[in-house]
Structure 1
Amino acid sequence: MSIKVGDHLPEVTLQRIRDGVETVDTSALFDHSKVVIFAVPGAFTPTCSEKHLPSYVAHFGQFRDKGIEVACISVNDPFVMQAWGESQNVPDGMMMLADGNADFTRALGLELDASAYGMGTRAKRFALYAEDGVVRNLCVEAPGEYRVSSAEHMLEQIG
């Protein structure tokens, strides 16, 4: 069953690179803030690198002006997420979070079986807006699409 508006974000751990690999708890990251979390099926993949992440990089300032944090999540390791962020000129403050074992993705009920492409379990392409850990808006893409999870669409939804 997938997470829905009104649900609390699941509590699991994710990883990121700061001064080495850092394990972070989702409740510590998201329970006391406003945040847009967007997930991509894979770092360095075409749509993710050409459209999805760049849309959030381009509009990062608009989210921050509204007091909203931005987090990118992918079922990749933290080193890949760091390298991808550097290659995409991700601004300081945008969280590049690794869900290496898909624990967060599965807890959300938004996993995608990409085994046919040699990629195993991945996240569906989605974006959600949460306040104090509670989902206020959720946009999940249909397979093969990129529309409702864009930064532009999320800014329209948040208002």
Structure 2
Amino acid sequence: MESAPAGRNAIPDLLEYAGYSKSKLDHYVENAALLKRRIATNRTYLKGLSAEPLCVSWPPPEAAELRYRTGELLSVVGRFADEGTAAALRTVRERARGEACDRLRDAAVARSELTDGEREAIASGELAAELAAARTELERLNSTLEAHEAP
């Protein structure tokens, strides 16, 4: 597929083309019969191809796991992806070594778990007001407890 012009097409497109009639397919590829034959014999394999194993989940895993995962991915991706992709992955690996990684991950986890209502409460300041009121109440309770402690 690398040397054939049809190999420049995305796999989903090739799978779609294989369902076209020969006359319609002649508009897309040089050898319609060969493409149909090759796709037909490899359809199950091609349908199962996915980038999922090459993806990093979001929110990302903890720093140590992310460093390990990016190392694995670089050894694979470096064989077929362009330099921009490999460079982006190296950037992720370097950031996983930084001190801010765990803090950023915690923020990503929190953000992914917030509901729309919670996001609105944060944006409107409602949550900050509730937090301030809770802290004031905690201080009042602590003062009351200290005043009533046994000598």
Same fold at TM > 0.5: no
The structure in which a higher percent of residues are strand is: 1
Structure showing greater radius of gyration is 2
Q: Which has the higher contact order (CA 8 A, sep 6+)?
A: 1
For the aligned pair, the TM-score class normalised by the smaller chain equals: under 0.3
The structure in which a higher percent of residues are helix is: 2
